[in-house]
Amino acid sequence: MSFKSQFFYFLKPIFWGIIIALVIMYGAKFTDVVGNLLDNDEVSSYSSAVKKASPAVVNIYSQQYIDSSIDNKQHLQPTGLGSGIIVDSKGYILTNFHVVSQADQILIALQDGRLFSAKVVGSDLITDLAVLQIEGNNLPVIPQNLEYSPRVGDVVLAIGNPYNLGQTITQGIISATGRSGMSSSGRQDFLQTDAAINEGNSGGALINSRGELVGINTSEFYANTQSISNGISFAIPYQLSRRIMESLIKDGRVIRGSLGLVAENLDPLLARLWGLKAQNSIIIKAVGKDGPAFTAGVQVNDILLKINNKAVENLVTALDYVAEIKPGTETTLTLLRKGEEIKLPVIIGELNSPTNQ
């Protein structure tokens, strides 16, 4: 027998011995995994996601100075309840503007028992967002992922302090994205969920199954005046909230570009008459006097096709695109007027009213 044959003759049992050892070592673990998958008694849980996110969701207590009829002095009285989210180790907290809009003093209670007095960094009426700040060490920060894009069907958890019961978790799914026109300004691009939202939940966190911030819980939907919830809730997407927060921290306000006009999505029937896709054009309904669009020569019933050669998808995306343009920038509008396509240069103005788009 040659040396080569002898070598492989002795190597063969060693090789198979290693294989058998590996099977013995990892076979039990594999069996446990399969058993867990097949075990009907195994509990499905989002505990890990909650543990990551919940410490950063705070209780917000608003107080106002109230005139006393007893000693003719002003005294602080609790006037509001809400939730907030610590999004930065510097103590920045995101919440809803309506939670703190009437507050003379704002108290922040963390889940670890600490209590802080907060200052308002800035607020934005249009998106109903506010940024607060507290000073403290080792503050919990909620996990964030700007790359995450919410999808219909994603499981979400709402964390907040409803009715001051203490931190509460409710579960649901994202049932729609891009909901607009649900607020007084009509500018939010809401996420719609069926996770229960009640008084005190406003400003709290909507998270995904990884514990990442998905949105800021804002309101429930009421189909009538009886204040009876229909199991539909809305949240402001995290990506939008992040942009607003950064503007408020940097400038103390949100600087938005504006064309100074009122528009709406083009009616599908009218669109077909013009040979257009309804979702890719909007129609001008009013032009503010002496505003950017008025000065540029935009007229009522013009159909807006493009902004800076960027096709208009719908009203919400068009408004968002214009809002991101720095005021004073020259922009080109492509319009359809009486069947003729025209281009008009326009100087972007600054948005100062929810109705001045």
List the catalytic residues.
Answer: 98, 128, 202
What is the Cα 334 distance to its own chain's centre? 31
- How far apart CA 36 and CA 239 sit, in angstroms, is 37
Q: Cα–Cα distance between 304 and 311 in angstroms, integer?
A: 9
Closest CA to 171 of 191, 197, 146: 197
Cα–Cα distance, 319 to 333 (Å, whole number): 13
Instruction: Give the integer Cα–Cα distance in Å for 90 and 135.
Output: 7
Residue partners of 201: CB distance under 8 A and separation at least 6: 82, 83, 158, 160, 161, 162, 168, 217
Tokens read off for 81? 């309840």
Residue appearing with tokens 């106002």: 64
Query: In this structure, are residues 273 and 284 in contact, taking their beta carbons and an 8 Å threshold?
Result: no
Query: Is the distance from CB of 199 to CB of 133 less than 8 angstroms?
Result: no
